[in-house]
Structure 1
Amino acid sequence: MINKRAAMSDNPLASILEMDGEERYDYFLDAVVEERELWILVNGDNQFLKIVSEEDGVGYLPVWPAEDFAADYAGPSGDLSPKAISLPDFFKKWVPGLSRDGLEVGVFPGADSELWITLPEELKQDLQDVLSGSF
């Protein structure tokens, strides 16, 4: 079995995290469509991480395109762990639930403070556009 972290020579993780918010958003769309899953962070009670913006009070669910990115964001504390959500589950369960709860989606938090925050339905549409090849 290959250690994924050891196989990441020259740390492409860091170079991707240094992209600006829009570049990370595009990377996220392509990676999620390719893998057919996205990643969130959950605590020991399986409750998902929700962040409320200090600036405008908007609550959002941070999501990542791969387990390594989510784990990197969580840090070494062990309080949060990555959890995969399949694309069909995200479309059928999460998008309606987030919309109902008034939560937005923070796509792929990175090294900078710039974050692409979008409505769940808009993210779903963008992902469907990439799936159909029209993005």
Structure 2
Amino acid sequence: MALEQSELDRVAGLDAEQRFDYMIHRVVETGEVWILTDAHGSVMLNTDDEDCVPVWPDLEYAEQWATGEWSDCEAMPITLKQWNHRWTPGLEEDGFAVVVFPLPGSGGEEDGLVVWPEELDMMLTREVKRSRKR
């Protein structure tokens, strides 16, 4: 289901921690994490300290990044189950961090929270359990 422009604008006004919380709720609601891919696989961002995979809660946010030097990239959904069972262990093993919900034009990693995959997985699992109790 496509997001309304008003929702896109509202969420774009949130700070990095608020977008992290939004992402956790949204991923549990939709069952998908979105990444960008190119001919070489998942797109990576580099911070001073970490190599990171950027992730978004919805297709529209991922596609906002697929411009300029990233225009050949495509947004790809990963099911929550795949994220938990394949991506988290793989990213941990390779030593990659995750930059959660960066916004375009913001410098990327500075505007998204950088977390370890295990931490993101833990927050998603906690939210899944919480949502089942509602």
Where on the TM-score scale, by shorter chain, does this alignment land: which range? Answer: 0.7 to 0.9
Q: Structure 1's 107 and 120: CA in aligned 2 closer, same or farther, altered over 3 A? A: same
Q: Would you say how many aligned residue pairs link Structure 1 and Structure 2?
A: 126
Cα distance between partner residues in 1 of 2:71 and 2:101: 20
Once the two structures are TM-superposed, the CA of residue 60 in structure 1 deviates from its matched residue by 0.6
2:101 is the alignment partner of 1:104: no
For 2:43, the equivalent position in structure 1 comes to 49
Specify the SS of the correspondent of 2:130. Answer: coil
- The corresponding residue for 1:32 is 27
Greater gyration radius: 1
Uncovered stretches (5+) of structure 1, i.e. residues with no partner: none
**How many percent of aligned residue pairs carry the same amino acid?**
31
Measure how far apart 1:78 and its partner are: 3.1
TM-score normalised by structure 2 residue count: 0.85
- TM-score, structure 1 as length reference: 0.85
Does 2:87 align with 1:94? Answer: yes
Residues 82-122 of structure 1 deviation map (CA, whole Å, 9 limit, x = unaligned)? 00000000011100110011001101002544221111011
Q: Does 1:119 align with 2:116?
A: yes
Partner of 2:57: 65
Question: Which has the larger helix fraction?
Answer: 2
Secondary structure at the counterpart of residue 65 of structure 1: coil
Provide runs of 4+ in structure 1 moved above 4 Å.
none
Distance in 2 separating the partners of 1:14 and 1:73: 15
State the shift of 1:17 in Å: 1.6
Determine the structure 2 residue equivalent to 1:133. Answer: 130
Which stretch shows the higher mean deviation, 107-116 or 66-75?
A: 107-116
1:75 counterpart residue number: 67
When residues 78 and 110 of structure 1 are mapped into structure 2, their CA distance, relative to the original with a 3 A threshold, is closer
> C-alpha root-mean-square deviation of aligned residues, in Å?
2.0
Structure 2: tracts of 5 or more residues without a match: none
